[in-house]
Chain A
């Protein structure tokens, strides 16, 4: 029933691919488990076969993933694609399902590299068909070579401008870019600029993106209030207020984005301690410089350990693999440190841009915590901000009691789309720091598994040795 590896890497994005290939190169018996059919994670989705007639649309940064995927394919890593991880046990066993069958994989060391997901952007009507994330627009582009002409893009953050730039290169008309970046952010960000300049060419790339958007004559709207998705049964327009006047833009597609947050579900369910990062406005695991979590034998690498971007993710992966090899006695500490020194240096340099970006693109408070009571916060269970406020009035101290009283967070997404909103909403209503509010108590299965699959993991009572 179980297979023993030295190291199991969960997630085949940049961190996971780098960790797996590095571990294999160090002589560790390595398995890489990923739920998609091909490697790349989100940022390098479909790197091996994006069907766009013109791949240049996706940009040069995307191509960096090709080398990682090639290194993975050329290695001795046991790569399990289309395999879903639903639990990590305290004994370092990983529950996986593939093609309707579940089993346990054991490893001496586990690297969780499950990346990030978009911070929810709850606004009126955001559950209407036709409203999707900027990441979803990228998935459509990368895996289906499809664009939605006449779409509205709304929110803030570099990934939003990235997808707008990709749409421009694909020749897809854009109805508008509604930029919700608070105007005052520039003042918080300015002092952090000098440090940011030391972080390689991120800034130059960012400025180039903005310039392309301006030059293409995209309609950019700033300083809006009351952003809303309008329609019955499907999105038909985006509404907003500006300068005291209400306006609408007719469209069938709205792509939302206001930054990304660590995908914490697997790590939390595995028992790793997390804390609220007030700058990144998200929960992140407590890790040391090698990615080691609070759980012995479990490391976390990539955006899942805190948002750092694709290059940092790759470095995280390599560092976690080096550290695991040392922990398992494959290399000495001195050797690990020697190999890691340039990686640590590169990582420090790449992270210098982060405080500036986080300050510049910090989403507005009222875009993170809906003011209107009728805005849906928990999409799975249709729980509104008003429902939550009513339950808080009963004295709910935190998200777990709130979940018990309102069903908020009980759906299959397990808080991925409501967690950050709920945490901040509770803090705002109770007048306490977000860090004191806490998060949902997460448990396996972190992805659904069928009863039949679960039943199949029970040891057979009539087979010899329980095998």
Chain B
């Protein structure tokens, strides 16, 4: 059995970013992934690299998000150079559109809290509909106004995933798809990770299996009380470019199609598209952008977000099994830069610093794990 420096369980947005970072550090790394049909939150991302609204009541999260956002351009350039894959990343500015005064007031209050929590590092402005029009053309009469932040942007999340995988392989990483992990045993030192058809040995193991972490974390003495929250996305036909900024619920891709969200349904492990969510998403989109009423939806998507009750990611290292880490959450795209650099480095060096202590497993009541 080959003994790796690190085994990453999960080839999604978080797993592949960490695996890429570890390989970049020169660690012999294997990434174990499920087969073609799997929940894979990483195939259902919207693609926002988003700072506004994150961590208004959790300063550590606001700070972590901002750090990642600032590291993004360097990651993008590095991936382009290493793999030739263009991720379509742009820090184009972000808008959240409000369709009622209530939404507007709630958002304004939240963003103000975020500004205060970051000592003014987070900058934004609230606009009425007329003024918001400078960023977003063709707003409908039902739009009350919205927020704008220059710190936000977007990326093609699938291209990002491909780039991370390609970058990982280019750095000598070993990718094992079709290897759904069922058991991890602590060999003291090191770990044996058993997947479909093969077992690998590694000095470190990083559990980045998304919703699968709930079952796997206890093997290394940790808890990961994550639960699925379904989100649905509609995708339009390709259109000539009309929207430069990214909005929270609608953004235009480099290819021209628009991705439209959002929905949040606790529906267990059911990732099917629902008529109700599709209709609600469409309704909101047409209210915000009446000119899109005649635009066709050519496909829809649904995926299960990896949620925690407090909305924060989980980064934990096991006291009982040194070298075992858990990493999961719902903002894998925005945090990809931090994951590929900072988090991967800390894992390689063996310790998570105080900066991410707020995301540790200690914050969970043991009962959450059941």
Contacts and interface: CB of A to CB of B under 8 A. Distances in A.
Do A's and B's CB atoms come within 8 Å in the complex? Answer: yes
B275 interface: yes
B43 A400 contact: yes
A140 interface: no
B353 to A, nearest CB: 33
Contacts of A454: 234, 278-279, 282-283, 297
A89 interface: yes
B309 interface: no
Interface string A400-413: 11001101001110
A285 interface: no
Interface string A427-467: 00000000001100101110011111011111100000000
B35 to A, nearest CB: 5
Interface in A77-120: 87, 89-90, 93, 95, 104
Contacts of A414: 298-299
A448 to B, nearest CB: 4
Given A104-B275, A451-B236, A397 B178 contact: yes
Interface in B9-36: 33, 35-36
B264 interface: no
A452 B36 contact: no
B275 A450 contact: no
Interface string A263-281: 0000000010000000000
Nearest to A452: B293
Chain B contact residues: helix, strand, loop or mixed: mixed
A467 to B, nearest CB: 15
A459 B275 CA distance: 11
Given A87-B275, A90-B272, A397-B36, A404 B237 contact: no
B275 A448 contact: no
Contacts of B285: 451, 455
A397 B37 CA distance: 9
B294 interface: yes
Interface residues of A, number: 40
A449 B297 contact: yes
B177 A445 contact: no
Given A104-B275, A450-B294, A455-B283, A404 B165 contact: no
B200 interface: no
Contacts of A458: 276, 279-280, 282-283
Nearest to B290: A452
A204 interface: no
Nearest to A410: B299
Nearest to B174: A395
A399 B278 CA distance: 25
Interface string A248-289: 000000000000000000000001000000000000000000
B177 A397 contact: yes
A297 interface: no
A410 B166 CA distance: 21
B165 A394 contact: yes
A25 interface: no
Nearest to A90: B272
A411 B165 CA distance: 23
Contact of A455 (B33, B235, B282): B282
Given A394-B169, A405-B162, A451 B275 contact: no
A398 interface: yes
A404 B275 contact: no
B295 A450 contact: yes
B210 interface: no
B300 A445 contact: yes
Interface string B116-146: 0000000000000000000000000000000
Contacts of A457: 275, 278-279, 282
Contacts of A411: 298
Contacts of B237: 412, 448
Chain B CB within 10 A, most for which of A93, A271, A411, A458: A458
Contacts of A438: 36-37
Contacts of B342: none
A404 B301 CA distance: 12
A451 B169 CA distance: 40
A451 B43 contact: no
B302 interface: yes
Interface in A44-77: none
A55 B279 CA distance: 46
Nearest to B273: A443
B7 to A, nearest CB: 16
B267 to A, nearest CB: 12
Nearest to A95: B275
Interface in B268-311: 272-273, 275-276, 278-280, 282-283, 285-286, 292-302
A391 to B, nearest CB: 8
A158 B236 CA distance: 38
A443 B297 contact: no
A437 B169 CA distance: 23
Given A397-B35, A398-B36, A443 B279 contact: no
Contact of B296 (A104, A401, A437, A449): A449
B158 to A, nearest CB: 5
A84 B36 CA distance: 31
Nearest to B35: A397
A395 B298 contact: no
Interface string B163-186: 001100100000111100000000
B161 interface: yes
Given A93-B275, A449-B296, A399 B36 contact: yes
A412 B235 CA distance: 10
A218 B296 CA distance: 45
Interface in B212-247: 234-237
Interface in B65-106: none
Given A394-B169, A412-B298, A443-B301, A455 B37 contact: no
A332 B165 CA distance: 58
Contacts of B236: 451
Contacts of B273: 443-444
A451 B282 contact: yes
Given A95-B275, A451-B236, A451-B285, A395 B165 contact: yes
A112 B283 CA distance: 29
A438 B38 CA distance: 12
A95 B300 CA distance: 14
Q: Closest 4 A-B residue pairs measured CB to CB? A: A398-B36, A452-B293, A454-B282, A458-B279
11 contacts: A391-B162, A400-B43, A410-B299, A441-B37, A445-B299, A448-B297, A451-B234, A451-B286, A452-B294, A454-B283, A457-B275
Given A396-B36, A398-B35, A443-B301, 14 more contacts: A93-B275, A394-B175, A397-B33, A397-B36, A397-B178, A407-B158, A412-B296, A444-B278, A444-B300, A449-B296, A451-B260, A454-B278, A455-B282, A457-B282
Interface of B: 33, 35-37, 43, 158, 161-162, 165-166, 169, 175-178, 234-237, 255, 260, 272-273, 275-276, 278-280, 282-283, 285-286, 292-302
